[in-house]
């Protein structure tokens, strides 16, 4: 039986890499959630393999701890701009947010975004200055910068009087003053309970829950996740649902779950203030309100952010199709995308006319490449076109998405980066230098940033950081220069030979090594010139009686460039595709045969 407890809900919000998931780990382990003999994983909330590998949070997650008899529900939110729609909805279900800021970096663009959302709905955040053990920490200065940020974002006087804690999330330490001798997170737990009122007991009122996130379970189907604003929710309760389009329908809740520690526990009833997971309503969606049958009151709808980028997911028709993937047909791809739509609200899927495939739109390159990477690991095989920006027509004028870009880089590289961003139609908003580092703020069309990341890493020798967030739609800004180099295209299928690759490597950067299977139309390298060049990488040296096979020196080849999925998507042009399979990422021309490509070029 689930007894009524005092409840407080908190979200941990911050910029990427500020230590959100690490802090949640520490809160969990110090609250006695793990048994003595239980193995504790680092970043336990990043449960998906991809999240672990990349060290980022993609899906927001809930867990619960108890402190002094109060149940504290904790929500860990993503920091990347592409998942901003997640952050926005989650903040609506909590009483306060812990804003994490790095003690040396200070507030970053994404900090601004998440804080703005929290302040808009009237939350009073707690500031946690993390990583105070860094050599270059400047905690006092960062507090002032954060105060200015609050003021900039129009915080009320009450919101400006935020409590400040200092700490090291990795070691599970929080302090009220920098000099304090604290060994654990007790000051943070105490501060939460002092700063936030317990959720009022509204159990006697009619039920009302707004769905702020979705889940999916293979056995019980779609799950609605949200906070009980008032009333009690019971198993088998009949309810009324107000839909996104204003319609009202009846439904029945088949199961009710709440969080205890990291586990989802089934209960017969849950009380006002708690975050619950409900099963039984198969077509529930974000922002819809579940109400008592006799009292239908819808809460204001939650806006879902518009997609900014689209790609075509096409059935793989290369000569290597079906060699490594289990799921290769349109039906397989459609089923998988439909399943993704169950929980991924920022996504839009439309059928492509005249091709076996779908146009998939999302919030950014990362949003879509995470979906692709997940599909690839599950055994799907498909071809993907170049990402395209979604253009809006407003009163007959074209508008496109722009992003705010903040760059920190060593002074000596700033000239190159400034001229590249200006070429890409970027507008500089501010520039400052400190300790041999330059900080640039730009507004750049999303189109201009496609394919820029790898160039940026090369230009700054890997020492620059580039952070971007979608800022909004602005008037279309005309032509933007494309990739300067052509590619090497394989003329025939076969196995690559070191001899021919060695000859090609003098005028191109290779993407394949020797003894690799290739097919006609596959891209095997980048030409040093503008034109595409069709070559034969499978040719070997002819032997004659005057030349024996061992007469030449051993051939030394440079290591070929290997692409990650994001790099491949950034690299390709509109007449090229990325072939995504469970064991390889290949680049290819849309039209594989050279003769066909030439004929099409003439027609154009």
- Nearest residue to 327 via CA among 383, 375, 385, 384: 375
Q: Is 254 annotated as a binding residue?
A: no
Eight-class DSSP state of 562: -
Element (H, E) at 453: helix 452-459
Q: Is 20 annotated as a binding residue?
A: yes
Q: Is 132 annotated as a binding residue?
A: yes
DSSP strands (E only) in 24-171: 61-67, 70-76, 96-102, 126-130, 164-168
C-alpha span between 426 and 384 (Å, rounded): 27
> Contact 160/58 with Cβ under 8 angstroms?
no
Residue for token digits 């007959």?
396
Residues 6+ away with beta carbon under 8 Å from 469: 81, 84, 109, 110, 113, 403, 404
> Contact 537/497 with Cβ under 8 angstroms?
yes
Q: Is 22 annotated as a binding residue?
A: yes
SS3 content of the chain, % helix, strand, coil (to 5): 25, 35, 45
Q: Is 21 annotated as a binding residue?
A: yes
> Contact 524/588 with Cβ under 8 angstroms?
no
Q: What are the structure tokens assigned to 489, written together? A: 């295209």
Long-range Cβ contact pairs of 502-508 (< 8 A, separation 24 or more): 502/555, 502/557, 504/535, 504/537, 505/557, 505/558, 508/533
C-alpha span between 84 and 372 (Å, rounded): 19
Q: Is 603 annotated as a binding residue?
A: no
Q: Is 552 annotated as a binding residue?
A: no
CA 348 to chain centre: 16
- Nearest residue to 212 via CA among 320, 278, 316, 286: 286
C-alpha span between 476 and 487 (Å, rounded): 29
C-alpha span between 145 and 117 (Å, rounded): 18
Q: Is 18 annotated as a binding residue?
A: yes
**Residues β-bridged to residue 289:** 210, 242
Q: Is 498 annotated as a binding residue?
A: no
Residue for token digits 């999925």?
565
Residue for token digits 């003098």?
506
Element (H, E) at 173: strand 173-175
- Nearest residue to 576 via CA among 310, 327, 318, 307: 318
Q: Which residue ranges make up the annotated binding site?
A: 17-22, 130-133
Annotated binding site for GTP: 17-22, 130-133
């Amino acid at each position: 039986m689930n007894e009524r407890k005092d409840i407080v809900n908190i979200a941990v919000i911050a910029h990427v890499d500020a230590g959100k998931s690490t802090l949640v780990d520490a809160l969990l382990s110090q609250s006695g959630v793990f048994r003595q003999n239980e193995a504790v994983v680092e970043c336990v909330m990043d449960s998906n393999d991809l999240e672990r590998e990349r060290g980022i949070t993609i899906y927001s997650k809930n867990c619960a701890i108890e402190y002094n008899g109060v149940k504290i529900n904790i929500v860990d939110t993503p920091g990347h701009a592409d998942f901003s729609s997640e952050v926005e909805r989650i903040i609506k279900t909590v009483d306060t947010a812990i804003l994490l800021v790095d003690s040396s970096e200070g507030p970053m663009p994404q900090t601004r975004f998440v804080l703005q959302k929290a302040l808009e709905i009237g939350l009073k955040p707690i500031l946690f200055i993390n990583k105070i053990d860094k050599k270059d920490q400047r905690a006092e200065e960062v507090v002032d910068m954060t105060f200015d940020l609050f003021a900039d974002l129009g915080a009320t006087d009450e919101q400006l009087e935020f409590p400040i804690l200092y700490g090291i999330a990795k070691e599970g330490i929080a302090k009220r003053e920098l000099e304090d001798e604290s060994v654990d997170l007790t000051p943070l737990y105490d501060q939460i309970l002092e700063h936030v009122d317990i959720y009022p007991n509204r159990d006697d009122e009619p039920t009302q829950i707004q769905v702020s996130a979705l889940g999916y379970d293979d056995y019980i189907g779609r799950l609605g996740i949200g906070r009980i604003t008032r009333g009690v929710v019971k198993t088998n309760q009949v309810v009324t649902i107000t839909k996104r389009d204003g319609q009202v329908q009846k439904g029945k809740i088949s199961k009710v779950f709440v969080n205890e520690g990291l586990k989802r526990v089934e209960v017969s009833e849950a009380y006002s203030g708690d975050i619950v997971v409900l099963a039984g309503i198969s077509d529930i969606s974000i922002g819809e309100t579940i109400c008592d049958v006799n009292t239908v009151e819808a809460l204001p709808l939650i806006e879902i952010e518009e997609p900014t980028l689209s790609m075509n997911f096409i059935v793989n028709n290369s000569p290597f199709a079906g060699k490594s993937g289990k799921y290769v047909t349109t039906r397989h791809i459609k089923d998988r995308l439909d399943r993704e739509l169950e929980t991924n609200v920022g996504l839009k899927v439309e059928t492509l006319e005249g091709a076996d495939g779908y146009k998939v739109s999302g919030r950014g390159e990362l949003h879509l490449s995470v979906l692709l990477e997940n599909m690839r690991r599950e055994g799907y095989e498909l071809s993907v076109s170049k990402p395209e920006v979604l253009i809006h027509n407003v009163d007959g004028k074209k508008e496109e998405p722009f992003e705010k870009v903040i760059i920190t880089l060593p002074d000596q590289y700033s000239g190159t980066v400034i001229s590249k961003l200006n070429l890409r139609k970027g507008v500089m908003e501010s520039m400052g230098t400190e300790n041999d580092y330059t900080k640039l703020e730009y507004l750049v069309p999303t189109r201009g940033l496609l394919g820029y990341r790898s160039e940026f890493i090369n230009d700054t020798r890997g020492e620059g950081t580039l952070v971007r967030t979608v800022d909004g739609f602005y008037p279309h800004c005309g032509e933007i220069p494309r990739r300067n180099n052509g590619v090497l295209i394989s003329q025939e299928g076969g196995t690559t030979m070191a001899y021919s690759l060695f000859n090609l490597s003098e005028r191109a950067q290779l993407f394949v090594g020797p003894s690799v299977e290739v097919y006609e139309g596959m891209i095997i390298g980048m030409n040093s010139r503008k034109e595409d060049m069709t070559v034969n990488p499978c040719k070997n040296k002819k032997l004659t009686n005057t030349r024996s096979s061992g007469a030449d020196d051993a051939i030394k080849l440079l290591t070929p460039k290997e692409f990650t999925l994001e790099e491949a998507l950034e690299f390709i042009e509109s007449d090229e595709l990325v072939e995504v399979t469970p064991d390889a990422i290949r680049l290819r021309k849309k039209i594989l045969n050279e003769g066909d490509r030439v004929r099409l070029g003439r027609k154009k």
